[in-house]
Amino acid sequence: MKEMDCNVIRDLLPLYEDNMASRETQELVREHLKDCSACREELRKMRTPVSIPPDEDQDLWKKFIQRRDQLRRKRNIRIACVFSVLAAVFLFCLWYTRPQSLADVTGADAALDSGWLTMADINWNAETAAEKLGYDHWDLTTENAADAVNHLFFNLLEQYTLRASLSSLLPRDQISMGGRDTLCLVIKEGEENFRLFYFSDNGKIYTPSQYGWDVYYCDPALHDALAPLIQEYGTLQEE
């Protein structure tokens, strides 16, 4: 049967091509090839020389593979570095803006030294009081800040959570406190160090640092709670 004959002939083709088959087998193969184009094509493929690249081409190919792998490694290293930097920045931002208490910012031995409050006078009328600045000012002096008052202020401050703002990393001249009212507490840290904390009614706290301003977010209600305390325990300055 022809299909089986073709299979047998194709098994014999290598012996036929190398002249290793018997004379009868060679004659059988030749007779089959006359009528079978598929087996003739198979024999043609066997006779087609295989192109083997010279040694220099193999060397160039190896160099190409090595260069490609080197570039891939460098690319992967750059990608890993970029992701590492982004991850470090993300973790730094999480750590920098973590919730803190005032004690975390000032230290556990901090104490209230003094402060002041300047508020716009709601009764001021520019047309009838042109010479008046239109502000009321209270001073909370060291004498006013007795232990009981100190305890009262710090109890209030510790009820609120602070979060550092990334704007603290900006230069000093790019940060503006704004607002018409000024509420400031002078906190004593240790024996000789003092820090000024400016409380804004928009929910921000500003304190000068060595490099600029440290800015914290806080509930705006803290400003509204501190103002009556300074008015009660401070001294209203007469104009």
Model confidence pLDDT, tens digit, residues 190-215: 777 888 999 988 889 998 887 788 89
pLDDT in tens, 22-32: 888 888 888 88
Residue 67 has pLDDT above 80, yes or no: yes
Write out the residue range of the structural domain in which residue 84 sits. Answer: 52-96
Q: Which residues contact 239 (CB under 8 A, 6 or more apart)?
A: 132, 133
- The answer to whether 100 and 162 have CB atoms below 8 angstroms apart is yes
- Domain check: are 125 and 42 in the same one? no
Our count of domains for the chain comes to 3
pLDDT averaged over the chain?
81
- Domain check: are 73 and 159 in the same one? no
pLDDT at 58: 74
Task: Give CA–CA dist 107/60, Å, rounded.
Answer: 68
* pTM score above 0.75: no
- Domain check: are 60 and 40 in the same one? no
List, in sequence order, every beta strand (DSSP E) within 49-203: 99-100, 111-120, 135-140, 162-164, 182-189, 193-199
Task: Give CA–CA dist 164/96, Å, rounded.
Answer: 6
Task: Give CA–CA dist 212/170, Å, rounded.
Answer: 8
- Domain check: are 192 and 162 in the same one? yes
pLDDT at 2: 44
- Domain check: are 117 and 182 in the same one? yes
pLDDT at 176: 66
- Domain check: are 17 and 82 in the same one? no
- Domain check: are 156 and 214 in the same one? yes
The CA-based diameter of the chain, rounded to the nearest angstrom, is 135
Task: Give CA–CA dist 163/106, Å, rounded.
Answer: 14
Q: In what order do the strands lie in the sheet with 213-217?
A: 99-100, 162-164, 213-217, 204-208, 193-199, 182-189, 111-120, 135-140, 235-236
- The answer to whether 39 and 32 have CB atoms below 8 angstroms apart is yes
Q: Which residues contact 222 (CB under 8 A, 6 or more apart)?
A: 156, 157, 160, 199
Query: What's the pLDDT band for 168 if we cut at 50, 70, 90?
Result: confident
Query: What six digits make up the tokens of 131?
Result: 């010479």
Cα dihedral 71/74/76/80 (nearest 10):
-170
Residue 134 has pLDDT above 70, yes or no: no
- Domain check: are 89 and 58 in the same one? yes
pLDDT at 123: 59
